[in-house]
């Protein structure tokens, strides 16, 4: 069997670590990001919908050239910035973040599933959500709502898949992974972004997970998770503790 791999947001953090753990029996990854990443890299800013056609064309070309039995798309792109009260933020920058977090996942995910469907290729779509999808975090309204919407979209689309297709849509929820985005949030004023206090507590308890550990867990999810699953990764001990207390 041959497997093609597509990854957005692989230039740093969890996405970069994910590429470091690609199994040897999977084709060289096709990657999409603003900054250069490993694999067959395409420069693209997913905050601009006019550039999404570049992704769609690359998917079509790769599937036709590689003719895989199975294709994986890990959508890891997202941004926490800009952070702050909505009335204090610049509209153009805010709009790009809203589009990236809220719209790129469903749009590119649909294009991937459609491309695989037309060619009879089994598809696995992995969406990177966040614990913020289920929280109300002042200062991060666009991020929370974007992850919530994408996660909901994935749940519904998973219901549309037939058992015969073998397709899976799986959402991973990284808990407390020490990425550059998290480090950036931790520099903010806690009065402006209350989440800062939480991250500082996690740091003091030495409970952060590394991007490498999270990447290993995501590959395990790809191997084992059922269609429609929503799976905590990263600092899973935090997720387990929260579930036990609820």
pLDDT digits (tens, 9 = 90+) for 123-145: 999 999 999 899 888 888 999 99
Mean pLDDT, all residues of the chain: 93
* Per-residue model confidence (pLDDT) at position 79: 85
In eight-state DSSP terms, residue 170 is: E
Express each pLDDT in 49-81 by its tens digit. 999 999 999 999 999 999 999 999 999 998 888
Enter the tokens of residue 187: 């520099």
pLDDT, average across residues 167-193: 89
> What is the predicted pLDDT for the residue at 207?
95
Whether 208 shows a pLDDT value over 90: the answer reads yes
- Per-residue pLDDT at 187: 87
Which of 157, 153, 136 has its CA nearest to residue 145? Answer: 136
Question: What does the pLDDT read at residue 98?
Answer: 95
- What percent of the chain is predicted at pLDDT more than 70? 100
Q: Which domains does the chain have, with CATH numbers?
A: 3-175+210-245 (3.40.50.720)
The angle that helices 141-160 and 91-98 make with each other, rounded to 10 degrees, is 20
| Distance set, CA 22 to CA 16, 165, 219 (Å) | 11, 24, 8
**Residue 110 token pair:** 């649909």
Helices (H), 120-162: 141-160
Most confident of 29-43, 156-170, 172-186: 156-170
pLDDT value of residue 191? 82
Output b/e per residue, 33-72; b: 16+ Cβ within 10 A.
beeebbbebbebebbeeeebeebbebbeebbeebebebbb
- Whether the per-residue pLDDT at 246 is higher than 80: the answer is no
Least confidently predicted of 52-66, 72-86, 185-199, 217-231: 185-199
Q: What does the pLDDT read at residue 128?
A: 96
Residue 92 is predicted with a pLDDT of 95
Binned at pLDDT 50, 70 and 90, residue 84 comes out as: confident
Output the pLDDT for position 36.
Answer: 87
Higher pLDDT, 140 or 147: 147
Q: Please state which of the ranges 76-85, 162-171, 198-207 shows the lowest mean pLDDT.
A: 76-85
Residue 203: count of CB within 10 angstroms of its CB: 15
Residue 130 CB: number of other CB atoms within 10 A? 26
* pLDDT above 90 for 242: no
């Amino acid at each position: 069997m041959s497997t093609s791999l597509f990854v957005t947001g692989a230039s740093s953090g969890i996405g970069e670590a994910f590429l470091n753990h690609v199994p040897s029996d999977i084709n060289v990854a096709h990657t999409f990001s603003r900054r250069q990443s490993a694999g067959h890299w395409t420069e693209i800013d997913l905050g601009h919908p006019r550039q999404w056609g570049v992704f769609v064309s690359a998917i079509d070309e790769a599937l036709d050239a590689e003719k895989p039995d199975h294709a994986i798309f890990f959508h890891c792109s997202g941004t926490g910035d800009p952070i702050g009260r909505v009335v204090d933020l610049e509209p153009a920058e805010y709009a790009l973040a809203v589009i990236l977090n809220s719209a790129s996942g469903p749009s590119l995910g649909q294009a991937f599933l459609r491309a695989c469907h037309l060619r009879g290729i089994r598809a696995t779509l992995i969406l990177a959500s966040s614990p913020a999808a289920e929280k109300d975090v002042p200062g991060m309204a666009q991020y929370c709502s974007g992850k919530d919407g994408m996660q909901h979209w994935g749940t519904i689309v998973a219901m549309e898949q037939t058992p015969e297709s073998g397709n899976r849509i799986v959402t991973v929820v990284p808990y407390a992974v020490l990425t550059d985005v998290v480090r950036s949030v931790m520099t903010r004023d806690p009065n402006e972004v209350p989440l800062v206090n939480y991250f500082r507590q996690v740091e003091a308890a030495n409970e952060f997970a590394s991007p490498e550990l999270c990447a290993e867990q995501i590959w395990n999810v790809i191997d084992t998770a059922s269609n429609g699953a929503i799976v905590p990764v990263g600092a899973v001990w935090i997720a387990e503790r929260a579930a036990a207390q609820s």
